[in-house]
Amino acid sequence: MKRILFTLAAFALIGCQQAPVPDVLPPLSFANQPKIRIAATEIRVVENYVAPARSPNIDHMFPVSPTAAIKQWANDRLQTAGSTGIMEISIDDASVVEVPLPKTEGVRGFFTDDQSERYDGKIRVTMRLFDGQRGIAAAEGDVNVIRSRSINEKASLADRERMFHSMTKEMMDQFNTQAEARLRQYFSAFLR
């Protein structure tokens, strides 16, 4: 009888253990960088890309999706400094697609940890400044970022979330560098 009570007590203690605490991922922010002042009265983010919420697209499963990160970038980096005009940030693509990778077969495969999936991310944004005098853009520039990462087949859900967060950050760091260069190159007459 004592053995049964001991076993029940052990199972009760195991059941009371707390679930592991998920990682707290740092926010993606560009607020620590200087504002880029644009001769416009409004900064408008246009979402031309709508992520399909089904496989092979997985960007909607990211802790911070590329679309949300681009919006955050526009909010953190761009500032209006004009009496007319609209600065438009058009998100044309912000996708991440999962590609299954081949596994090692046979006995060798039993002892091999393969990369199970590759994630191909793309960001394509068109920036336009409409100065209000014409219906066409007074300045225009494109930013294109492509990044791929793979993950081990034994990765946990937390490992995947960290990798997804890291991938978005890498893409946005590259995006930030390219966007600033395009603004200085093509929008120099409208920077304040």
Angular region, 85: left φ>0, alpha ψ -120 to 50, beta rest: left
Residue 10's pLDDT is 46
pLDDT tens for each residue of 9-27: 444 444 445 544 456 888 8
**Which pLDDT belongs to residue 21?**
47
So what's the pLDDT on residue 111?
66
Q: What is the model's pLDDT at position 110? A: 62
What per-residue confidence (pLDDT) applies to 51? 81
Q: What angle do CA 5, 7, 10 make, to 5 degrees?
A: 110
Contact assessment for residue 102 and residue 88, using Cβ atoms and an 8 Å cutoff: no
pLDDT digits (tens, 9 = 90+) for 144-170: 999 999 999 889 999 999 999 999 999
Provide the CATH number for the domain formed by 31-190 in this structure: 3.30.160
What residue ranges of the chain have pLDDT lower than 70? 1-23, 107-111, 133-134
DSSP codes of every residue in the chain: -HHHHHHHHHHHHHHHSPPPPPP-PPPP--TTSPPEEES-SEEEEEE-----SSTTB-GGGSSS-HHHHHHHHHHHHEEE--SS-EEEEEEEEEEEEEEE-PPPPHHHHHT---EEEEEEEEEEEEEEEE-SSSSS-SEEEEEEEEEEEEEETT--HHHHHHHHHHHHHHHHHHHHHHHHHHHHHHSGGGB-
Q: Hey, what are 167's tokens?
A: 């991938």
Any idea of the CA torsion for 152, 156, 161, 163, to the nearest 10 degrees?
-20
Amino acid code (one letter) for 156:
S
Predicted model pTM: 0.83
